[in-house]
Amino acid sequence: MTIFEQRESSIRAYSRVYPVTFATANNARQTDTDGKEYIDFFAGAGVLNFGHNNALMKQAIIEYLQADGVLHSLDMQTEAKAAFIQRFSDVILAPRNMPHRLQFTGPTGTNAVEAAMKLARRVTGRPHIVAFHQGFHGMTLGSLAATANPYFRGAAGVPLEHVSHHPLGTSDTDAHALIAELRAQCNADKPAAFLVETIQAEGGVNVVDRQWIQSLASLAKDLGALLIVDDIQVGCGRTGSYFSFDDLDIEPDIVCLAKGVGGIGTPLALNLVRPELDDHWSPGEHTGTFRGQNLSFVAGKVALEYFTDAKLMNEVREKTDFMLATLQPLLAKDSSLQLRGKGMIMGLDLGDGERAASIVGRCFDSGLLIASCGMGGKVLKLIPPLTISQQDLAAGLDILIRTTEHVLEEAA
Q: What CATH number should be reported for the domain holding residue 261?
A: 3.40.640.10
The domain boundary residue, chosen from 248, 279, 307? 307
Task: Per-residue pLDDT tens, the chain, 412 aa: give them.
Answer: 899 999 999 999 999 999 999 999 999 999 999 999 999 999 999 999 999 999 999 999 999 999 999 999 999 999 999 999 999 999 999 999 999 999 999 999 999 999 999 999 999 999 999 999 999 999 999 999 999 999 999 999 999 999 999 999 999 999 999 999 999 999 989 999 999 999 999 999 999 999 999 999 999 999 999 999 999 999 999 999 999 999 999 999 999 999 999 999 999 999 999 999 999 999 999 999 999 899 999 999 999 999 999 999 999 999 999 999 999 999 999 989 999 999 999 999 999 999 999 999 999 999 999 999 999 999 999 999 999 999 999 999 999 999 999 999 998 7
**Residue finishing a domain among 283, 307, 331:** 307
Report helix, strand or coil for 230. strand
The span from the CA of 28 to the CA of 36, in Å, is: 14
Same domain, 83 and 199: yes
From 285, 307, 329, the end of a domain falls on 307
Per-residue confidence (pLDDT) for residue 303, from 0 to 100: 98
> 331 with 233, same domain?
no
Q: Does residue 96 sit in the same domain as residue 233?
A: yes
Question: 49 Cβ partners below 8 Å, 6+ apart?
Answer: 43, 236, 237, 238, 259, 260, 303, 385, 386, 387
Contact present, 288 and 105 (Cβ < 8 Å) = yes
Give just the sign of the alpha carbon dihedral 247, 253, 258, 262.
positive
Same domain, 86 and 8: no
- Confidence at residue 188, expressed as pLDDT on a 0 to 100 scale: 86
**Based on the domain organization, do 73 and 174 belong to the same domain?**
yes
Bridge partners, residue 32, by sequence: 22
| Whole-angstrom distance, CA of residue 381 vs CA of residue 402 | 16
What is the model's pLDDT at position 29? 98
Domain encompassing residue 116: 57-307
CA proximity to 208, closest of 134, 109, 153: 134
295 and 323 assigned to the same domain: no
Say whether both 18 and 145 belong to one domain: no
Q: How many helices (DSSP H) and strands (DSSP E) are in the chain? A: 15, 17
CA separation for the pair 14, 22 (Å, rounded): 12
Residue 335's CATH number: 3.90.1150.10
| pTM of the predicted protein model | 0.97
CB neighbours of residue 275 within 10 Å:
9
The b-or-e profile of 227-240 (16+ CB within 10 A means b, else e) is bbbbbbbbbbbbbb
**Do 298 and 366 share a domain, yes or no?**
no
Residues 142, 288 within the same domain:
yes
Based on the domain organization, do 41 and 61 belong to the same domain?
no
* 126 shares a domain with 226: yes
Where are any strands of DSSP class E within 173-277?
193-196, 199-200, 206-207, 226-230, 254-257, 270-273
Give the chain's domain count.
2
Is the domain of 199 the same as that of 293?
yes
Alpha-carbon span 135 to 144, nearest angstrom:
10
